[in-house]
Structure 1
Amino acid sequence: MSWHRFDKASDIVQIGQRVSCEFLGFHTSNGEARLSLKAMQPDPFTVFADSVREGQVLCGRVTKLVPFGAFVELADGVEGLVHLRDLTEVPVETPEEGVRVGGELLVVVLEVDREHRRLALARHQVLSDFW
């Protein structure tokens, strides 16, 4: 439905709303057509990847904490992962020890993986460069 995160379909479309979408296929077993709104929109990851380079320092917002690190939104619909080992100068066991959801973070782009649509980021290298 969308390149962006959403909680429920009504965040994207409303009942009765006219939309343009791409036809993906037809299920003969249940008579349903598969359609995609997402296919009609530019991929924000590709647009972002075209404008960023490895080693570039960016500011982002922490959107989610997971046991192995923190996801940071760098552009609308584009998030990257700061692995736990790259989150702070001093090793931590949980991401909550270094950042909080909603917090702003300076990160450096370590890798742009276009094939898997992933960004690897680090925070501790940014801190090292400034201190």
Structure 2
Amino acid sequence: VSTTEFGAFVKIPTKSSFVEGLLHNEDASWDRGKRCKDFLKVGEKIEVKLIKIDNKAGKISLSLKELQDSPIADFASKHKVGDKVTGSIKDVKDFGAFVELVGGVEALIRKEDATDELSVGASIEAAIADIDKSKARIRLSQKKLRVQKEREALDKFNAASDDKITIGDIIKEQLN
């Protein structure tokens, strides 16, 4: 019926007439920056899922993205926690940065998990720290990747040598 800054009003047919429901921008697309007015046209027929009826307030909430497979679920079927990934920083906030990964999937790297400066457009390499399919979130960590690389180097050294060395040996040596 109409589009606004916060979403789109959708006419839903009933047995005798119609009701209007609201499709909020955050329920319209898995792309968090996409707004209804950017891709929906007044008069266009769309299929939506009814996600909430608030009889008291007289409101109906709709979702378009719940009818689509989550890109996070697809990503999670191909990746696991600890995998190394690369991406491009799309947005920087006080708490960290949003990184675009393969297939347009977004992940968050918190400032405390970063070892490099977080700036828009920069390429970043990190390990997957967490995948939360229910909340459609991925968290990355450069610190975790650094530890993984150190462990791999240590394992490689120990496999190729009769002299076994541990991380504790390395720390002890650095303290002396």
What range is the shorter-chain TM-score in? 0.7 to 0.9
Deviations 1:80-106 (A, max 9, x none): 2212122116xxxxxxxx021122211
Q: Which moved more, 1:32-41 or 1:62-71?
A: 32-41
CA RMSD of aligned residues (A): 2.8
Structure 2, unaligned runs of 5 or more: 1-27, 151-176
Superposition TM-score, scaled by structure 1 size: 0.74
- What is the CA-CA distance between 1:57 and the residue it aligns to? 0.9
Identify the residue that residue 57 of structure 1 maps to in structure 2.
84
Which of 100, 104, 107 is the aligned partner of 2:123? 104
Amino acid at match of 2:50: F
Which of 11, 18, 34 is the aligned partner of 2:61? 34
Task: Trace 1:1-131 onto structure 2 (pairs within 5 A).
Answer: 1-26=28-53, 28=55, 33-76=60-103, 78-88=105-115, 98-126=117-145, 129=149
Superposition TM-score, scaled by structure 2 size: 0.58
Q: Which moved more, 1:47-56 or 1:106-115?
A: 106-115
Check whether the contact 1:59–1:105 (CA below 8 A) recurs between aligned residues: yes
Check whether the contact 1:5–1:77 (CA below 8 A) recurs between aligned residues: no
Closer/same/farther in 2, CA of residues 25 and 68 from structure 1, 3 Å limit:
closer
Closer/same/farther in 2, CA of residues 28 and 99 from structure 1, 3 Å limit:
closer
Q: Which moved more, 1:78-87 or 1:44-53?
A: 78-87
Closer/same/farther in 2, CA of residues 70 and 32 from structure 1, 3 Å limit:
closer
- What is the CA-CA distance between 1:109 and the residue it aligns to? 0.7
Between the aligned partners of 2:55 and 2:113, the Cα distance in structure 1 is 49
Larger C-alpha radius of gyration, 1 or 2? 2
Amino acid at match of 1:111: D
- What is the CA-CA distance between 1:119 and the residue it aligns to? 1.8
Amino acid at match of 1:22: K
Structure 1, unaligned runs of 5 or more: 90-97
- What is the CA-CA distance between 1:123 and the residue it aligns to? 2.0
Q: Identity across aligned pairs (percent)?
A: 28
Closer/same/farther in 2, CA of residues 115 and 27 from structure 1, 3 Å limit:
closer
Closer/same/farther in 2, CA of residues 116 and 29 from structure 1, 3 Å limit:
closer
Amino acid at match of 2:97: A
Aligned residue pairs total: 123
Check whether the contact 1:45–1:77 (CA below 8 A) recurs between aligned residues: no
